[in-house]
Amino acid sequence: MVEFNRDAGARLTTEHEIAVVPGATSLFVEPAALEQVMDRTIDWLNRWLLPRLAQ
């Protein structure tokens, strides 16, 4: 699955980031896995979206 996402990411022309949550399955049902995804998403949005909204 990770390779599929990397292939898709290579075709994107916009800013993107692919991150792996160690030990997590694709549904993020493991303890704290979904929280890690949310934290990474918030960090990404703060880095890339907020500065563009401020323009």
Question: Residues 12-38: pLDDT tens digits?
Answer: 998 899 999 999 998 999 999 999 999
**Sorting pLDDT into bands at 50, 70 and 90, what band is 54?**
confident
- State residue 12's pLDDT score: 96
Residue 28 lies in a domain: yes
Average pLDDT in the chain: 92
> Cα(first)–Cα(last) distance of the chain, in Å?
36
Say what the pTM is.
Answer: 0.74
| Interatomic CA distance for residues 7 and 5, integer angstroms | 5
Residue 36 domain boundaries: 19-55
- State residue 15's pLDDT score: 85
- Residue 22: name the closest of 33, 14, 7 by CA: 33
Using DSSP, state whether 26 is helix, strand or coil. Answer: coil
- State residue 8's pLDDT score: 96
